[in-house]
Structure 1
Amino acid sequence: MAGTGKRRKLKEYADPNIGFAWLRLFGAITVVIDHSSPLVHPERLTIFPASWHASPGYVALMGFFAMSGWQISDSWERDPSWWRFSGRRLLRILPPLLAVVFVTTFVIGPLFTSLTVGEYFADQQTWRYLVGTSLLFLLQHLLPGVFDDNPYPWSVNGSLWTLPMEMVGYVLVLVVGLLVAFGVTRYVVLPVLAGLMVLDGMFQATFGFQGNAGSLIEVPIGSMVSFMVPFAIGMVIHTFRDRIPLNGPAAIVLFAGWIAAHWTPLDRYLLAISASYGAIVIAHHWPTWFKADGRLVFGSYGLYIWAFPVQQMIIAAGVHNQWVLMALAVPAAYLCGVASWCLVEAPTQRRLRKYLVKPKPPRQPRPPSPRPPSFAEADTVRFSPVARPPAGRRPPSMRVR
């Protein structure tokens, strides 16, 4: 009966990677919806009322980082090679980023700048944006004259600010993975998580405040630590997946606990824990019937990095109602995500990842076929006292039952 139940569960739930893909897609759409309000009403931070002190986009980002912590840890475990791991991570994050940065600089910028084309390309900020944003940790937000007349003129692509933090998470997995490979216990992830939670409590970053720890180049340290907490939680759940059950009712209880403690100092910790655990649980309980062609669901990264300039262009075209902006931006950004996957991400993965394939173990030489026994050996085996049944008794196979 136990085997029957296990087979039923395997048929009932899809591969977790399908669940992760869908959740990332829904999370990216949530961020687009949440950005629509401050882009037309800059005095607001989120689509939720200010009195709620919560942001659906921020919760979605917490889930994003937790899923990354799980999946990137899984990638390292399957192939613990520092250079192949690094190559795969760069191939995943850079080609779509470079595509959006180049299109923004050389197409969107000249079309939407208030300067002449000559003035635009003569401005040093144009090239600072191109180079600095491509390098991530020198991230720039402004292109000269671009979207200057929009209600939110302070960023051409505000969504990119979390990508350097994602790269920091990759480094975290690499460092922990190398420590374990050199003999350190896997429990090392627990003090890493504890240290991040202590720092998060000190820096006090939230969805509306980047913390009081300053910046690492162009990356706010407080926000980076806040997002590394769910990333590390994802690492912990993956490391101890043999001991941590992924239970739906437990995820609901954690989420309810966060809601109940929302106005207490426990809020920041319960948010990270409930969003992280909940996202990973849902991904592992994704129903088999809720699947689709990969090209339709694997474009969440492209959707996320294209949505902000798409929304700014829609606003520049005259749309200043947040609900109309949502209705137009979500499908437009989704199509950009599908195009990014089909034209940039999948082709680069297919063409370049073949150089990062884990080498197959060397084939073991086949043992020599046994030499056929000689007549004397065969006769010894056939008539040895060990092989012959005791006198007066039949072998068990010949007994009459």
Structure 2
Amino acid sequence: MTPLPPRARTLRDTIESHDNNYTLVRLVLSASVIYHHSFALSPGYSDPIDRALAPLTSVGGLAVLLFFFLSGLFVAQSFHKDTYIPNFVFKRFFRIWPGLFVCLALTATLMAAMSELPLRNYLTFDGFYRYILGNSVFDLRWDIEGVMGKNPLPTLNGSIHTLPMEAKMYVVLAALGALDLIRTRRRIAIAGAVAILMALTPGLVELLPTTLFNADYSRSAAVMFLAGVMVYGLSSRIRLALWQGVLLISAALLTRGGLHALFFYTSAVWIVLMVGQSAALGALWRPRHDLSYGIYIYGWPSQQLVMAASPVVLSPYGLSAGAVALATVFAAFSWRCVEKPAIAMGKDVSSLGWVQALKRHRTLTVFLVSLLAVCLGARWASNAWDMAPLQAMPTQLIDFGPRESRAGVPFNQQPNGRSALWIKIEGAPPPEGSVVVMDGKRLSTQISPGMVTAEVPKSVLWSTGDKSIYIERRRVSGIERTEAVQMRIKP
């Protein structure tokens, strides 16, 4: 069989073959995000391209939305080939989590090593591990105390804010699969179109029990992802041509408001798809490896590292060049050592089962499990033991209640079933980040003028004896702590 000539190819022909440029497109989009963030990290500069795109979008905003479109397109393709939902979950997990987890651990360590305090201070600091572990499960945290503090913006990785939304769209796609709407391309196209209409209907999605659109860009991102899903469903009928772009771009230039946004983003999608199937571009260069995810997640930390290491203040353009180069090095490492093996492991879990997959990918498994165990163990140890110098907190505990209770009996019971402890204070109020510690357990704490309250879990009340209570704040340079009081738990 001879291959179809480029003009006769459908979009389905393009995306189901290796004869396309979408890996290059994703690389360009990743570099565009770094370029956009360079202006946010370099005060006093304004991007002329952003001004041209305003108020509709920005370079980074457009790149992220196009990422979501391509994700919808190719993830729907993958799901359509194997509609078994557990396999879909395994593949998505192994594509996203291993690379992200290693990125967080590696870049946090490097950035801490370039900070003023010694690295050992951070390796015994709870906040260091909360940053790594929290962000790896999308409980987003933006900084670690003292790290990159001399840079204009101490946020350590601003790019990862889009990953929770990506994960939510995987859940939406899995839900469509559970409704048997991924079995045929026709169903996929209809499901994508209906889901887009639902996402655009004011107040409809907010009726769901979980929050889907909790960020400014969420609705646009969801629509673009679902547009990718719909386009995949229609891919066997789509044949791209130059006249389509002429009409779309002309309509975008001649319209205003909602129609302008519709034609603008449709034009951007058309350009991406045309570049993706361009034979001339493919003849010039076609990357062998997909480094786009690595460049994306390592991009912002690379910018922070370049700024911290540079002896001069860099312009956004110099910062972009340095950060893209460094992020590419990180991404190549991530692809070769983490992402590519993890993707293969996800496929093997689906086809061979967990036992055989773990055996086949023993090196990656041991590495990830060991790194996770180190982070979990170090976080536990940094909470359980005082590894930093103790300092007196200038806050006095002058009264608290109740002073005694019985084992297993709740007190001041809250709606969630937990007991509540109150502490009356005087002197300097506890600084931000302070918590009540009871019997070695850090409690959920609320601080108000002259009063501190905390929820006490049932596990603290199971055993009898005197329970030590104090307020503390753990910092990378030391532990601030008040004097302790005792609450008696009777049999």
- Give yes or no for TM over 0.5: yes
Cα distance per residue 1:271-330 (max 9 Å; x no partner): 4333334323432345442443513xx111101111111111111123432221122222
Cα distance per residue 1:194-243 (max 9 Å; x no partner): 1223349999xxxxxxxxxxx959x8333222101111111111112234
In the alignment, is residue 309 of structure 1 matched against residue 312 of structure 2?
Answer: no
Match in the other structure for 1:253? 247
Cα distance per residue 1:155-201 (max 9 Å; x no partner): 10111111111111212222112223599954232221112233499
Give unpaired runs (5+ residues) of structure 2.
Answer: 354-491
Match of 2:69 among 66, 69, 74: 66
One-letter amino acid matched to 1:325 = L
Cα distance per residue 1:8-51 (max 9 Å; x no partner): 65799995354221110111111111111111127858863388
Match in the other structure for 1:191? 194
Structure 2 residue matching 1:145: 3-state secondary structure: coil
CA 1:24–1:8 in 2, change beyond 3 Å: closer, same or farther? closer
Higher relative contact order (CA closer than 8 Å, sequence separation 6+) = 1
Q: Matches of 2:332 and 2:119 in 1, distance apart?
A: 30
In the alignment, is residue 100 of structure 1 matched against residue 93 of structure 2?
Answer: no
Q: Matches of 1:32 and 1:84 in 2, distance apart?
A: 33
CA 1:178–1:170 in 2, change beyond 3 Å: closer, same or farther? same
In the alignment, is residue 264 of structure 1 matched against residue 267 of structure 2?
Answer: no
Give unpaired runs (5+ residues) of structure 1.
Answer: 204-214, 360-401
Match of 1:353 among 340, 343, 347: 347
CA 1:183–1:337 in 2, change beyond 3 Å: closer, same or farther? closer
Q: Which has the higher strand share?
A: 2
Match in the other structure for 2:114? 112
Q: Matches of 2:158 and 2:83 in 1, distance apart?
A: 34
Aligned residues of 1:92 and 1:349 also touching (Cα < 8 A): yes
Q: Matches of 2:245 and 2:351 in 1, distance apart?
A: 36
Q: Which has the higher helix share?
A: 1
Structure 2 residue matching 1:41: 3-state secondary structure: coil
Q: Matches of 2:182 and 2:37 in 1, distance apart?
A: 44
In our comparison, the structure showing a higher alpha carbon Rg is 1
One-letter amino acid matched to 1:278 = I
Match in the other structure for 2:157? 157
CA 1:257–1:149 in 2, change beyond 3 Å: closer, same or farther? farther
How many residues end up aligned between the 2 structures?
A: 339
Q: How many Å apart are 1:346 and its aligned residue?
A: 1.4
Worse-matched range after superposition: 316-325 or 87-96: 316-325
One-letter amino acid matched to 1:96 = G
Q: Matches of 2:156 and 2:218 in 1, distance apart?
A: 21
Cα distance per residue 1:239-291 (max 9 Å; x no partner): 12234443343134324433444x53434433433333432343234544244
In the alignment, is residue 280 of structure 1 matched against residue 273 of structure 2?
Answer: yes
TM-score for both structures, normalised by structure 2? 0.61
TM-score for both structures, normalised by structure 1? 0.74
Give me the identity figure in percent: 24
**How do residues 37-48 of structure 1 correspond to structure 2 at under 5 angstroms?**
37-41=39-43, 48=50
Match in the other structure for 2:318? 324
Structure 2 residue matching 1:220: 3-state secondary structure: coil
Q: Matches of 2:168 and 2:268 in 1, distance apart?
A: 20
In the alignment, is residue 125 of structure 1 matched against residue 118 of structure 2?
Answer: no
Match in the other structure for 1:33? 35
CA 1:182–1:276 in 2, change beyond 3 Å: closer, same or farther? closer
Q: Matches of 1:129 and 1:87 in 2, distance apart?
A: 24
**How do residues 195-214 of structure 1 correspond to structure 2 at under 5 angstroms?**
195-199=198-202
CA 1:200–1:60 in 2, change beyond 3 Å: closer, same or farther? farther
